[in-house]
Structure 1
Amino acid sequence: MTDPHLRARHAAEGRDLQYPPLPEALVVPVYDNHTHLEIADGDTPIDYREQLDRASSVGVRGVVQVGTDVATSRWSAEIASREPRVLAAVALHPNDTPELATSGTLDDALSAIDELAGRPRVRAVGETGLDFYRTGEDGRDAQFRAFEAHIEIAKQHDLALQIHDRDAHADVIATLKRVGAPERTVFHCFSGDAELAEICTENGWYMSFAGTVSFKNAGTLRGALDAAPRALLLVETDAPYLTPEPYRGRPNAPYLLPHTLRAMAAHLGTDVSMLAAQISSNTEAVYGSWESEPVLAQ
């Protein structure tokens, strides 16, 4: 699925729309905790199969493919059913929930997500949460309603929860504590500070760092990385967004994950392979094994 709005914005900003070259392969492989393979970006969009092949070649052994509406959640579940390198997450993005509520289709959409959550290689509900950056006061009730429903879906199916949290830290935390967070809760594209990292640590919530942690102006985020215990760290691309340095602004992809991992290891002063082994173990603790057989033939 192409995203013409994304590509048009990149072009207007004068960005280089060529995919970056392959990085040096990791010795110890990791997983991409959050990616959107359905979105084709760049001057020469890459099919999801080639994306996965490139990722495999540099030590990214699997991805969590994340839906943001019923259509992309269904696509994610279907790809996971036939591709052993993919597990799926399904949800309605918080920014879409006010329009669904206004149109009277939010309950039907949530029912569809609940059905998809029961499929074998769907291992998470997400991305769901709260986004007060793009949604004003009039849309917040719908976001809260949908977020709470997603939390319940995750608990009913014993799935992980992937949280989208933008300019809404306090309300996300309050909602998780009021409703009761699932056993495995992940703050996708962690954007908080050391204080939020300490709150996550107290509650056993995982923190997934994206390419933003490599940005020169991300000192606060790296402070959060310092505060996070290694046992709660994950890594992701959020591709095709948030491309890490040194290719910030160009299209992102799972095969670029080693850049983010190496930036994290360099900041923490630890060995890349040791950090990769820890994060790989953490990821399997959250989502289970990628080794279960796909349901459908290739």
Structure 2
Amino acid sequence: MSKGDKKRELPPVPEPTSAPFVDAHTHLDACGAESAEDVRAMVDRAESAGVGRVVTVADDIAAARWAVEAATWDDRVFAAVALHPTRAKDFSEADRATLTELAAHPRVVSIGETGLDYYWDYSPPEPQQEAFRWHIELAKRTGKPLMIHDREAHADILRILDEEGAPEKVVFHCFSGDAEFAKSCLAKGYVLSFAGTVTFRNAENLREAAKMAPEGQFLVETDAPFLTPHPYRGRPNEPYCANYTLRGLAELRGMTVEELAVSVTTTAERVFALEQV
């Protein structure tokens, strides 16, 4: 097998964790799932590694419709709906109406991913901020947690949450800040969700943040098909790879894998109200 072929190959499925846990943020459609059979096969693979449930997250309107439908195909799948900040310049009234309708679906457990992204220039800051404010209000209206995408926008994210009044539950998906930013978020009661990036060799600041987040404010995710954890960085990602991230974080935090699996599951169940769906 050539080096290029290896890069396109999924990592091996690891040994299962002794306790099941939740992938708090993934994109099953972007991983290649289209049908109910595809979703079932993908979640079966995840379950074989200990990842018993997943939240599949939308980044546009078509993906939001698909996520809600996929969450009805398998009891292990839940949905989050929103318009990604990089698409915010095209956020229409029709889009708002569609998301409002989809957000009311019982299989939708979060409003996300929404927030600000100043790394890409697909949408200027102003429409991003306007869309973020709208999603904050939607989360408060529905009583569902807000799932935040924050890329190079830490100060504005916190400012807008303060100005609008944050929902009761806020999750920073794929947390990307350092320990100081983590302190600010944790002090406000926000939940930090860590992806494969925390295992990267150059992510010491992120690991410092991951060590300080207390139980109850800590989740694990894949953001698949992106951000595959070390040592498989650069290869395709799927929900089962959350196992690798969980193991790395357990070692980092001085916990057993089972202890951390139980902890993040308890937090996911509380934040997303999974037992009530």
Fold similarity call, TM over 0.5 = yes
- 2:21 maps to 1:30: yes
TM-score, normalising length: structure 2: 0.94
Aligned partner (choices 157, 165, 169) of residue 184 of structure 1: 169
Q: Which residue is equivalent to 1:139? A: 124
- Taking structure 1 as the reference length, the TM-score comes to 0.88
Q: SS where residue 47 of structure 1 aligns?
A: helix
Partner of 1:246: 231
Shift of 1:47: 2.6
Per-residue deviation at 1:82?
2.9
Partner of 1:233: 218
Residue 89 of structure 1 aligns to a residue whose secondary structure is: strand
Of 88, 91, 97, the match for 2:79 = 88
1:136-175 aligned at under 5 Å gives the runs 139-175=124-160
User: Where does residue 54 of structure 1 map in the other structure?
Assistant: 45
Deviation at 1:290, TM superposition (A): 5.0
Output the amino acid matched with 2:251: A
For 1:124 and 1:291, locate their aligned partners in 2 and report how far apart those are by CA, in whole Å: 13
Q: Which residue identity lines up with residue 119 of structure 1 in the other structure?
A: H
Alignment check: 8 A CA contact 1:18 1:250 kept: yes
- Equivalent residue, structure 1, for 2:107: 121
Matches within 5 A, 1:248-267: 248-267=233-252
Give the letter aligned to residue 10 of structure 2: Y
User: Quick one: distance in 2 between partners of 1:50 and 1:18?
Assistant: 17
CA spacing shift, 1:26–1:69, aligned 2, 3 Å: same
Q: Which moved more, 1:80-89 or 1:216-225?
A: 80-89
1:209 aligns with 2:194: yes
Cα separation, 1, equivalents of 2:86 and 2:24: 21
Out of 75, 83, 102, the residue aligned to residue 66 of structure 2 is: 75
Shift of 1:268: 1.3
Note the residue ranges of structure 1 that are not aligned, 5 or more in a row.
1-10, 293-298
- How many residue pairs match? The answer is 273
User: Alpha carbons of 1:15 and 1:193: their partners in 2 closer, same or farther (altered >3 Å)?
Assistant: farther
Residue deviations 1:203-227 (CA, integer Å, cap 9, x gap): 1100000000011110000011122
Shift in Å, 1:228: 1.3
2:184 aligned counterpart, secondary structure? helix
The answer on whether the counterparts of 2:150 and 2:172 sit within 8 Å (CA) in structure 1 is: yes
Query: By how many angstroms is 1:291 displaced?
Result: 6.9
Indicate if the aligned counterparts of 1:84 and 1:291 stay in contact, CA closer than 8 A.
Answer: no
Partner SS state of residue 8, structure 2: coil
* 1: CA distance, partners of 2:28 / 2:246: 20
Report the CA distance shift for 1:249/1:290 in structure 2 as closer, same or farther (over 3 A). Answer: farther
Provide closer, same or farther for how the CA distance between residues 15 and 108 of structure 1 changes in structure 2, counting only shifts above 3 A.
Answer: farther
- Give the whole-Å Cα distance in 2 for the aligned partners of 1:210 and 1:135: 23
RMSD value, Cα: 2.0
Residues 62 and 85 in structure 1, CA contact (< 8 A), matched pair in contact too: yes
Identity between Structure 1 and Structure 2 (%) = 47
Q: Which residue in 1 is equivalent to 2:88?
A: 97
